[in-house]
Amino acid sequence: MLWIKLGWRNLLRNRRRTFIEVLSIAGSVLLAVFMNNLAVGSYDQMVNDGVLMGSGHIGVYNSAYLSMRKTELTVNAPPLVGALEREPSVKAVYPRLQVPALIRSSRDSRNAVVVGLDFDRELNSNPLLRKDKLVEGSYPSSDDAKEALMGEILARELGLKVGKKFVIMVQGSDGKIESSLFRISGIIRTNARMIDAGMVIAPRKVIGSVIGKPDSAHEIAVILYNHRHIEKVLPAIRAIARTQPEADAFRWQEAMPELQNAIKMDRVGFQIMVMFMYLIVGIGTINTLLMSVMERTREFGVIRSIGLNKKGIRKIVLSEALVLATVGVTLGMALGIAVTGYTSVKGIDYSFILKDQGMASTLIDPIIYSAWDWYSMSVIAGGMIIIAFAASIYPVHYILKTGPAEAMRKY
Amino acid sequence: MEAIQLKTVVKNFREGEHVVHAVNDVSLMLEKGEFAALAGPSGSGKTTLLNLTGGLDRPDSGEVLINGISTKNKSDNELTELRLRHIGFVFQAYNLIPVLTAYENVQFVLQIQGVPESEHRGRIMPFFRTLGIEDLKDRFPTQLSGGQQQRVAVARAVIGGPTIILADEPTANLDSETSKNLLDMMRKLNEQDGVTFLFSTHDPMVIDRARRIIRLRDGTIQHEEFKE
């Protein structure tokens, strides 16, 4: 306790300098905590939406489909869907088709992706089908109807409106070109150009019939009750998938590597930023401690003369570093928790800068909510304490290189 | 056994191109319980000799022994330990730690020595009463007069039970009344507990009370005087 008492009181000798350094540490911790939790929150949202729109927590595919993406590489959906739905850990199962197509109107034609899904299953879960995305019209009246939702930009470019007809031309599973007439039931606006200008959503069975495989699916997205159970559940899902020789099960990270990579890149960028921030704070802390120590060179000479050895001198300087870091980290963490608490409920609306809300094959919700990443927060706090300790090394070296007599003589 | 022994000790300092012979081939022996003073004009080597005696500085040649223990080839930590266990220092400028109270400044030595905290009060307060500063124990150095600070410094110097006290101009910043009182207390410690005192001083009051006066000039001992 002596060392902590000394450390605290020595820091209070120059309150302004100590206050500025504490603010610097606290500010860095606040920034790191807030930005980390906001980033993790955005990753969680991206993964949640990506998983619901895309492969699910675990996706069942034809083994070759993920690498080749050919229309004919499907699985037979009904038996797999039934078996998957009976798995206790499985919350929902979404079979889908994804077919590159030419969309033709009387005015023009465009390339697009036709997504075939079961509206009765996905109406209340798929981010693409959220009510706020449907800007005109309605959803297809049934899963057997030749009706479709179209992206707003695509519809405008083709000169189409709700109720108008258009043709979907695809390559069938036998390699022949097939076409079918559909009616637009609704227009969607997601603010993601890849969707608004390039997607049509129609009932899966109808699209399956167009390509010649009415009960097929390119992707069966399996949604779990708990995303942390992916590894635990994967073997069972895989066993079900492999009841069809060509099928297999994949984690979402394997099925949607672009999403995984986008998150990883962002994470690395953030970690580099935090490293530089800590480096700058470390330099500031060295300066604070060094100035504090230099002003007390004579005093340290006296302390050594009365019998405090080098280890004791280190403890004095270290205790100052520890007090500085503890106060700064505590303040920064408290502020970080307060800001995270607020933004985890209210969120931050990025729509003013996020013009295109599509990324890595998923939608980005412009309102980002912070998440509670306690592990990273403790690493941030611990890292700053370590930086403070490291910052005390040079000041200790400085004071110890001067002998006690010289210290008392010169200063 | 001699409390302090210096054998042909030399210490030089370089000031730019110029070499200063601060202590020049000095040999000295102090018995246990002596009350001695190093006297001489400024620059005669008094403080340097005191620092060498206390292990605060290392001689360029020669040997220093404290209670028979040679300081030659001792590491910094070993010298520090020697000071902690055997030597107490009283400085001209008091040199109390400003962020610790009077009590805590003295307690600091006991904490470094590893004395259990339960024993601190019992050891410190008798000294404070002897020195007449028991009411000042919770004050910080800036709240004390020069004389009071020096008495706290004396308490700090003796609390660890040293056998030798080295005092560098302890009365330099004190008025005569305070100086007299301080010296009388030190004399009492010397006579009652057998603590060896070696002063570095200009002060006639100190010289007057010393039983042995070692006169220095230009880093060498000119002569010594012994009193009964």
Concatenated DSSP letters of A248-287? EEEEHHHH-HHHHHHHHHHHHHHHHHHHHHHHHHHHHHHH
Q: Is A356 found in the same domain as A335?
A: yes
DSSP letter string, A156-177: HHHT--TT-EEEEEEE-TTS-E
Chain A residue nearest residue B112, CA to CA:
A308
Cα–Cα distance measured from residue A367 to residue B16, given in angstroms and rounded to the nearest whole number = 69
pLDDT at A2 over 80: no
ipTM: 0.89
Q: Is A368 found in the same domain as A333?
A: yes
* CA geometry: angle A393, A313, A282, nearest 5 deg: 25
Q: For A78-92, what is each residue's pLDDT tens digit?
A: 999 999 999 999 999
List of chain B residues whose C-beta atoms are within 8 Å of the C-beta of residue A18: none
Test A306 with B156 for CB contact under 8 angstroms: yes
List of chain B residues whose C-beta atoms are within 8 Å of the C-beta of residue A312: 112
* Whole-number pLDDT of residue A355: 63
List of chain A residues whose C-beta atoms are within 8 Å of the C-beta of residue B58: 403
pLDDT at B94 over 70: no
Tokens standing for residue A283: 């330099």
Chain B residue nearest residue A307, CA to CA:
B84
* Whole-number pLDDT of residue B88: 93
Test A9 with B76 for CB contact under 8 angstroms: no
Polymer length in residues for chain A: 411
Cα–Cα distance measured from residue A45 to residue A51, given in angstroms and rounded to the nearest whole number = 10
Beta carbons of A193 and A361 less than 8 angstroms apart: no
How many separate domains does chain A show? 2
Which of B51, B99, B160 is opposite residue A13, by nearest beta carbon?
B99
The helix (H) or strand (E) run that includes residue A180 is strand A177-188
List of chain A residues whose C-beta atoms are within 8 Å of the C-beta of residue B51: 405
Q: How far is the alpha carbon of A313 from chain B, nearest alpha carbon, in Å?
A: 11
Test B99 with A298 for CB contact under 8 angstroms: no
Residue with tokens 């559909």: A182
- The share of chain A scoring above pLDDT 70, in percent, equals 96
* Whole-number pLDDT of residue B42: 87
- As a whole number, mean pLDDT of residues B46-62 equals 92
Test B95 with A9 for CB contact under 8 angstroms: no
Last residue of a domain, one of A218, A251, A284: A251
Give, in order, the Cα–Cα distances in Å from B44 to each of B11, B26, B28, B227. 12, 12, 16, 23
Q: Is A107 found in the same domain as A183?
A: yes
Confidence of residue A356 (pLDDT cuts 50, 70, 90): low
Select the residue from A306, A311, A315 to test the B interface by mutation, using most B Cβ atoms within 10 A: A306
Which of A6, A12, A307 is opposite residue B84, by nearest beta carbon?
A307
Q: How far is the alpha carbon of A282 from chain B, nearest alpha carbon, in Å?
A: 26
* Whole-number pLDDT of residue A351: 74
| Domains, chain B, ordered by start | 2-226 (3.40.50.300)
Tokens standing for residue A46: 């991206």
What is the value of pTM for the model shown? 0.78
Q: Which residues of A touch B (CB under 8 A)?
A: 2, 5-6, 9-10, 12-13, 298-299, 301-312, 403-406, 408
Q: Is A138 found in the same domain as A79?
A: yes
Test A13 with B57 for CB contact under 8 angstroms: no
* Whole-number pLDDT of residue B176: 87
Cα–Cα distance measured from residue B55 to residue A257, given in angstroms and rounded to the nearest whole number = 69
Q: How far is the alpha carbon of B94 from chain A, nearest alpha carbon, in Å?
A: 10
Q: What rounded mean pLDDT belongs to chain B?
A: 91
Give the number of C-alpha atoms closer than 13 A to the C-alpha of residue A340, restricted to the C-beta side.
Answer: 26
Cα–Cα distance measured from residue B175 to residue A338, given in angstroms and rounded to the nearest whole number = 59
Test B77 with A310 for CB contact under 8 angstroms: yes
Confidence of residue A226 (pLDDT cuts 50, 70, 90): confident
Amino acid (one-letter) located at A132: D
User: What is the residue range of A129's domain?
Assistant: 56-251
Last residue of a domain, one of A232, A251, A270: A251
- As a whole number, mean pLDDT of residues A325-347 equals 95
Q: Is A278 found in the same domain as A225?
A: no
Q: For A32-45, what is each residue's pLDDT tens digit?
A: 999 999 999 988 88
Beta carbons of A264 and A66 less than 8 angstroms apart: no
B221 by Cβ neighbours in 10 Å (0-12 / 13-18 / 19+) ranks as buried
Q: Is A81 found in the same domain as A20?
A: no
List of chain A residues whose C-beta atoms are within 8 Å of the C-beta of residue B91: 302, 408
CB pairs under 8 A between A and B: 71
Q: For A106-165, what is each residue's pLDDT tens digit?
A: 999 999 999 999 999 999 999 899 999 999 999 999 889 999 999 999 999 999 999 999
Q: Mapping DSSP to helix (H, G, I), strand (E, B) and coil, where does residue B178 land? A: helix
DSSP letter string, A100-123: EEEEE-SS-EEEEEEEEE-HHHHT
Q: Give φ, ψ of A56 to 5 degrees.
A: 80, 175
List of chain B residues whose C-beta atoms are within 8 Å of the C-beta of residue A302: 89, 91, 95, 97
Q: How far is the alpha carbon of A276 from chain B, nearest alpha carbon, in Å?
A: 35
Q: What rounded mean pLDDT belongs to chain A?
A: 91
Cβ neighbours, 10 Å, residue B139 = 16
List of chain B residues whose C-beta atoms are within 8 Å of the C-beta of residue A10: 99
Q: Is A388 found in the same domain as A319?
A: yes
Last residue of a domain, one of A251, A273, A296: A251
Q: Is A291 found in the same domain as A225?
A: no
Chain B residue nearest residue A6, CA to CA:
B99
Q: Is A326 found in the same domain as A201?
A: no
Cα–Cα distance measured from residue A214 to residue A230, given in angstroms and rounded to the nearest whole number = 30
- As a whole number, mean pLDDT of residues A321-347 equals 94
Q: Is A394 found in the same domain as A303?
A: yes
Tokens standing for residue A308: 């405090």
Q: How far is the alpha carbon of B127 from chain A, nearest alpha carbon, in Å?
A: 17
Test A304 with B84 for CB contact under 8 angstroms: no
Cβ neighbours, 10 Å, residue A265 = 11
Chain A residue nearest residue B97, CA to CA:
A299
Q: Is A78 found in the same domain as A26?
A: no
Which of A330, A339, A298, A350 shows the shortest CA–CA distance to A42?
A350
Polymer length in residues for chain B: 228
Select the residue from A4, A297, A305 to test the B interface by mutation, using most B Cβ atoms within 10 A: A305
Test A13 with B98 for CB contact under 8 angstroms: yes
Cα–Cα distance measured from residue B218 to residue B24, given in angstroms and rounded to the nearest whole number = 8
Q: Is A285 found in the same domain as A232?
A: no
Test B51 with A2 for CB contact under 8 angstroms: no
Cα–Cα distance measured from residue A233 to residue A51, given in angstroms and rounded to the nearest whole number = 16
Test A305 with B56 for CB contact under 8 angstroms: yes
Chain A residue nearest residue B56, CA to CA:
A405
Test A305 with B112 for CB contact under 8 angstroms: no
pLDDT at A361 over 80: no
List of chain A residues whose C-beta atoms are within 8 Å of the C-beta of residue B85: 307
* Whole-number pLDDT of residue B196: 94
Q: Which residues of B touch A (CB under 8 A)?
A: 51, 54, 56-58, 76-77, 80-81, 83-85, 88-89, 91, 95, 97-100, 104, 108-109, 111-113, 156-157, 160
List of chain B residues whose C-beta atoms are within 8 Å of the C-beta of residue A299: 95, 97-98
